[in-house]
Structure 1
Amino acid sequence: KEATPEVPAMATQVLGLLCGQVLDTHVRLQAIDRSISALQRTDEVARRLSTIPGIGPVGATALAASVADPGQFRSGREFAAWLGLTPSQNSSGGKDRLGRITKMGDRYLRKLLVVGATSLIRRARYKPETADPRLVALLARKPARVASVAMANKMARVVWAIMARGETYQARHAASLAA
């Protein structure tokens, strides 16, 4: 039988305090999650936005709160550009040269969309039969990080369309599979 090392009393006391802080933080985070979910259920725009795959309660409420009037953008591309999810253009002489994403605009919203798209990619790798066929095709052509930003761009355009038109998200491939 192995002998357990003696732990000093001061170390035990400090570890107890740290464990208490971790548990307290966990309880507070759960309360914040519950309040965000309640807000998402009561806000009509956030409820519609949460129907988009990859957008959860945090993203839906953040987008609904940040974009008061989607009519200020002429198109979904303009909205995605406002978020910094469109490539910079260095075009000259009729040649289109697209660069990296501009990263202009709201960093937090852009990060929420990219993280949501990354979760869709992770799910598509484990269950490709349930994923959007466009995403599977994109992953076959591009690296995962590039695909996640491209999907975030697509999600931003869908967000704008849902906010501007007052509709809910309906997946095209799910409807075609049901038919």
Structure 2
Amino acid sequence: MLQQRLALTNQIRGLLLDRGIEIARGFYALRTVLPALLEKEDSGLTPMMRDLGRMLLDMWNRTESTIEQMNDRLKCLARESDLCRRLQTIPGVGVLLSTAIVSAVGNASTFRRARDLAAWVGLVPQQRTTGGKPRLLGITKRGNSYLRRLFVQGARALWVWKDKHPNDPIQHWLIQLAERRHAHIAVCALANKLVRITWAVMRSGAEFNLHHHT
């Protein structure tokens, strides 16, 4: 559904750009600016293009409504699940990620170690030996790509706020890492850390503890 919404958004923007019309980025502009634009006879759009725009906008609205209903359902499921509720006490883990990880792996009992879960998600570094010395490369990107993307998004959210709470153990760790590594590497390393914390919370039966899990 998210990909369908994005595809429709790009189609609508492409239709307008063909006539030199550009609207603000974001979904809000599609909801507010586009309907009025499609009704204006002097907008620069031909009648056929306005009809096509209305059809695409109607499809976009229906897709958006479905996404909102699905999000409401996920929020309801997250409230009803003790495991999802506990996972959401982890910084960077919200409704979408908590429900997705529980749906995919249950209580993570099939993973003996936190690293096993991180490897399954595809967030462990590749290793290569050069001159007899092991070198760490980028993450493997193998495994569940959807979960990997969600963990990276959660890590990016924490990255944005890293300077706001420097005394927070996770943020302090991230700040120190950022001084030695490129931002992308630091975000991926944090995503790996979030996976390991997630495994620990799922296996412990307790909520996230800032000092115990960091």
Residue in structure 1 matched with residue 103 of structure 2 by the alignment:
65
Unaligned runs of 5+ in 2: 1-41
After TM superposition, list the pairs within 5 Å mapping 1:16-165 onto structure 2.
16-91=54-129, 95-124=133-162, 127-129=164-166, 132-165=171-204
Q: Secondary structure at the match of 2:109?
A: helix
Q: CA deviation at 1:128?
A: 4.9
Q: Secondary structure at the match of 1:141?
A: coil
Is the Cα–Cα contact under 8 Å of residues 128 and 136 in structure 1 kept in the other structure? no
Q: CA deviation at 1:107?
A: 1.5
Q: Which runs of 4+ in 1 moved over 4 A?
A: 4-7, 91-94, 128-131
Q: CA deviation at 1:54?
A: 1.0
With structure 2 as the length reference, what TM-score do the two structures score? 0.70
Query: 1: CA distance between counterparts of 2:56 and 2:88?
Result: 36
The 1:12/1:92 distance shift into structure 2, 3 A limit, reads: closer
Q: Secondary structure at the match of 1:61?
A: helix
The 1:139/1:13 distance shift into structure 2, 3 A limit, reads: same
What is the RMSD computed on CA atoms of the aligned residues? Answer: 2.4
Query: 2: CA distance between counterparts of 1:77 and 1:116?
Result: 18
- Comparing both chains, which one has the higher relative contact order based on Cα–Cα distances under 8 Å and sequence gaps of 6 or more? 1
Is the Cα–Cα contact under 8 Å of residues 166 and 175 in structure 2 kept in the other structure? no
Is the Cα–Cα contact under 8 Å of residues 124 and 130 in structure 1 kept in the other structure? no
Aligned length: 169
Q: Secondary structure at the match of 2:191?
A: helix
Q: CA deviation at 1:143?
A: 1.4
With structure 1 as the length reference, what TM-score do the two structures score? 0.82
Unaligned runs of 5+ in 1: 174-179
Q: CA deviation at 1:75?
A: 1.7
Q: CA deviation at 1:161?
A: 0.3
- Name the % identity: 35
Q: Secondary structure at the match of 1:97?
A: strand
Query: 1: CA distance between counterparts of 2:129 and 2:203?
Result: 30
Deviations 1:3-59 (A, max 9, x none): x46643323222222222222222211111111111111111111111111111111
Is the Cα–Cα contact under 8 Å of residues 59 and 113 in structure 1 kept in the other structure? yes
Letter in 2 for 1:49: L
Q: Secondary structure at the match of 2:103?
A: helix
Q: Secondary structure at the match of 1:66?
A: helix
Is the Cα–Cα contact under 8 Å of residues 80 and 86 in structure 1 kept in the other structure? yes
